Amino acid sequence: MDSATLLARITDYASRPNPYPLYAELREAGPVVPQADGSYLIGTYHLIAALLHDPRMSADPRTRGEATHKPPFLRLDDPEHHRLRTLAMRPFGPPHSPGRVDGMRGEIDRIARELLEPFEAGRQIDIVDDFAYPLPVTVICRLLGVPHEDEPLFRAWSDAIVAAADVRPDDDSTKPDKAGDQARMEMGGYLLNLAEQRRGKPGDDMLSAFVNEPDPALRLTDEELAETAVLLLIAGHETTVNLIANGALTLLRQPEQLDRLRREPELLPRAVEELLRYEPPVHMRERIPHADIDIAGTLVPAGASVVLVLASGNRDPMRFRDPDRFDPARPDNQHLGFGSGIHACYGGPLARVEAYAALGALLPHLGSARLVEDPPPYRQNAMLRGPRHLPIHL
């Protein structure tokens, strides 16, 4: 088929259960594959990694010439990005130290076990709604200092924000963005109000840390604080839900690997790295050249949308041996699941601890479990890809 329709075919909902053959087609057609809509697709590992580190590429949608309001720092360029990222990372603890996340290990394990308690053998459970979803939302709300009873508010808000953040927001191009903006504002307003209540009353949560920062040079404005808290909630939770659900699905599809993990639970951390490679929660990220640029022999004009298909890079046979095989003991696993370069995910340590807790708690139950539907129903989003439901019979 025509390689100029690849992005349209990838984002087509029918491809959601298995986009990987299209990624193989992309790497064959590549390295730089112009699309009918004026964008450029890139799916090979080394080129994706190089572009993630290339200062000529912008993450800011305003580089496309679009008049939109200032985005959160995930989509800002340096030096603005660097300042906000540094400030937002501070409450996680000093870099390269276990800090706050390690201190929560025991609690995260307990939350995971408690979520599974009500489900006895013979029952049906939706791994997404009953387990993968509540775990990270509970953890990130606890970190930020959001009271437990307010957690349900976040589901509706984050669903709307994530729908609007797709590479191709659904059908009616005006509607999802509006709903997303509205949800972003409401969530930001809620968090700001909460932060306000903590002013002068420092607790051990991150909102308190942000709002009670004594050094004026390190203080966030109200708007920045709201944006940052919303970003942490969204970035830190939809992704983790997908990682846990993709993990359960992968293991249920491969009983021999599941058995192996049950026999050798010390392999779990490596199995989670392999999941981040093999079924990553984030499939693509967009970058935009500041000026006309030659990318591997193709002239890409300033302002063009360059879509880096991280999930394709993760399956690139020029980088990974036998890339379509799920190997929980894979050595040399420098995947692109958390991105790379200045925007590389700093929530990785937390996401990993949550995935170890979740899959560790699930392992004893999965041996006799079976999938009710394969493939399960997927979410619309092609960029943040994962099952919408994952019903299993225990």
Least gap, CB of 162 to ligand HEM (angstroms): 13
- Closest to ligand HEM by CB, 299 vs 344, is 344
Tokens for 162, please give them.
């994530």
166 Cβ neighbours under 8 A, 6+ residues apart: 11, 176, 380, 381, 382, 383, 384
Least gap, CB of 189 to ligand HEM (angstroms): 20
The three-class DSSP label of residue 321 is coil
- Closest to ligand HEM by CB, 30 vs 339, is 339
Distance CA 285, CA 239 (A): 13
Least gap, CB of 263 to ligand HEM (angstroms): 25
> Which stretch, 5-13, 291-299, 340-348, 370-378, contacts ligand HEM (CB under 6 A)?
340-348
User: Per CB under 6 A, does 208 bind ligand HEM?
Assistant: no
Q: Pick from 339, 376, 386, 387: which binds ligand HEM (CB under 6 A)?
A: 339
Residue 62 near residue 72, CB atoms below 8 Å: no
Sketch the per residue contact string, 293 through 322, with ligand HEM: x for CB under 6 A, - otherwise.
Answer: ------------------------------
The three-class DSSP label of residue 351 is helix
Residue 387 sits at φ, ψ, to 5 deg, of -65, 140
**SS percent in the chain: helix, strand, coil, step 5:** 55, 10, 40
Least gap, CB of 279 to ligand HEM (angstroms): 10
User: Per CB under 6 A, does 347 bind ligand HEM?
Assistant: yes
Q: Pick from 252, 351, 358, 392: which binds ligand HEM (CB under 6 A)?
A: 351
52 Cβ neighbours under 8 A, 6+ residues apart: 285, 287, 308, 336, 339, 340, 341, 343, 344
> Which stretch, 31-39, 210-218, 260-268, 341-349, contacts ligand HEM (CB under 6 A)?
341-349
Q: Give me the sheet containing 391-393, strands edge to edge.
A: 124-126, 391-393, 370-371
Q: Pick from 10, 167, 243, 353: which binds ligand HEM (CB under 6 A)?
A: 243
Distance CA 88, CA 287 (A): 22
User: Per CB under 6 A, does 350 bind ligand HEM?
Assistant: yes
Residues in touch with ligand HEM (CB under 6 A):
59, 73-74, 85, 140, 231-232, 235-236, 239-240, 243, 280-282, 285, 337-339, 343, 345-347, 350-351
